[in-house]
Amino acid sequence: MNPKLQWLRNKMSSLDLQGLILTNPVNIRYLTNIDAEGILLLTRKDNIYITDARYIEAVHSTLTLYDEIIVYDIHDVSKEDYENFFMFCENVGFEEYDISYAKYKEYIRKYKIHNFVETEHIIEKQRMIKDEDEIRNIEKACEITDNCFSYLLNYIKPGMTEKQIANEIEDYYKQRTDGLSFDTIVASGENTSKPHAVPTDRKIQEKDIITIDMGCKVNGYCSDMTRTFFVGEVPEEIKPVYDLVLKNQVQTLESYKDGASTRLLTKMVENDFKLNNYDLIHSLGHGVGLEIHEPPYVSYSSDTQLRENMVVTDEPGIYIPGKFGVRIEDTVQITKFGCISLTKSEKNYIII
């Protein structure tokens, strides 16, 4: 059996679950590599994936004998089959954050479930720690993101619109990867003051500040990087803000390691920003994996300890409404005694 499913079966034993119904497609992909619409049942004896005719062929080509997963076409599953899957199971787990209330009721009836038990993000918690293959995919996505950024520094010229640059990034990724990991942010001039700016028809001007937040997917795994850079020169009023953001980004990198507290890390940046009369208005970082935002969250409200082989972002930012904003972000792998930045683009003043 594949090691992730084996891990899950051990976990089920320890939780006294004799069966499990998984509906979250990201968790199913994590466990099986299947990228389709369907549900995964772990019964006493079997691992069963139920999908429909559209996906059967693709699912079969993804799986190997080694996975030990039986694939059913939903149209071939009878009322009796459903009732038999969890026969003699005292407790069957489900994903309470994913399944709708209507499905919850339907499943209890359809599978004749005795005790339907919430599983409190067991798989999401496991997904926080990446294995070698997962890290290799994220590394690759980060490398292509670095290359794309180098390309952009030569490509971007005054007169181009933010939208045009965003489209160029999308094309670059499409030719080399599974595509974007999120909608690219290209903000210029005062638009940089909005942390979640959507690309507009604004044209790049001489002496502009530009923020680009971008990432792609490789085998489903995401990268995430932000750089703030300048056309022609760095305006004097922006320098102290840029320096403060960069200092905190680098200090956070230096503090990221196995055992570090996400709350304390955030507090350090908040305090330094406050000393300079600025606020940290969003999280300092978030986990990156099959989803672009996933646990652990590096923020004051989440009190988690970083662990070896978590992959998280480090992205402090300062935004001055109506004027400008600066954010600098890397995707970072946590190690036993420190961390490795997987995105490696220049962070000192970048001038095009």
Closest distance between its own copies and the C-beta of residue 44, in Å?
A: 24
Closest distance between its own copies and the C-beta of residue 118, in Å?
A: 7
Residue number with CB closer to its own copies (301 or 348): 301
Closest distance between its own copies and the C-beta of residue 194, in Å?
A: 9
Residue number with CB closer to its own copies (3 or 322): 322
Residue number with CB closer to its own copies (85 or 94): 94
Closest distance between its own copies and the C-beta of residue 168, in Å?
A: 12
Residue number with CB closer to its own copies (57 or 206): 57
Closest distance between its own copies and the C-beta of residue 57, in Å?
A: 9
Residue number with CB closer to its own copies (195 or 289): 195
Residue number with CB closer to its own copies (186 or 231): 186
Closest distance between its own copies and the C-beta of residue 96, in Å?
A: 4
Closest distance between its own copies and the C-beta of residue 12, in Å?
A: 19
Closest distance between its own copies and the C-beta of residue 101, in Å?
A: 4
Closest distance between its own copies and the C-beta of residue 55, in Å?
A: 9
Amino acid at 211: T
Residue number with CB closer to its own copies (14 or 100): 100
* Residue 22 C-alpha from the chain's centroid: 20
| Residue 164: count of CB within 10 angstroms of its CB | 16
Residue number with CB closer to its own copies (36 or 40): 36
Structural contact between residues 169 and 179, judged by C-beta atoms closer than 8 angstroms: no
DSSP type of residue 202? P
Distance separating alpha carbons of residues 179 and 211, to the nearest angstrom: 20
Among residues 315, 314, 307, 310, the alpha carbon closest in space to that of 333 is found at: 310
Q: In the numeric block, which tokens belong to residue 36? A: 């389709």
Structural contact between residues 266 and 279, judged by C-beta atoms closer than 8 angstroms: no
- Residues near its own copies, by CB under 8 A: 53-54, 94, 96-102, 104-105, 118, 167, 174, 195-196, 281
Among residues 234, 228, 173, the alpha carbon closest in space to that of 207 is found at: 234
Burial class (CB in 10 A: 0-12, 13-18, 19+), 187: buried
Q: In the numeric block, which tokens belong to residue 181? A: 């990991």
Closest distance between its own copies and the C-beta of residue 183, in Å?
A: 11
Angle between helices 25-32 and 3-14 (to 10 degrees): 120
Distance separating alpha carbons of residues 19 and 308, to the nearest angstrom: 31
Residue number with CB closer to its own copies (98 or 258): 98
Residue number with CB closer to its own copies (96 or 143): 96
Distance separating alpha carbons of residues 67 and 28, to the nearest angstrom: 13
Structural contact between residues 75 and 53, judged by C-beta atoms closer than 8 angstroms: yes
Among residues 200, 210, 141, the alpha carbon closest in space to that of 172 is found at: 141
Distances (CA, A) of 171 to 178, 212, 343: 11, 15, 20
Among residues 25, 48, 54, the alpha carbon closest in space to that of 111 is found at: 48
Q: Please name the helix (run of DSSP H) or strand (run of DSSP E) that holds residue 71, with its range, or none.
A: strand 69-73
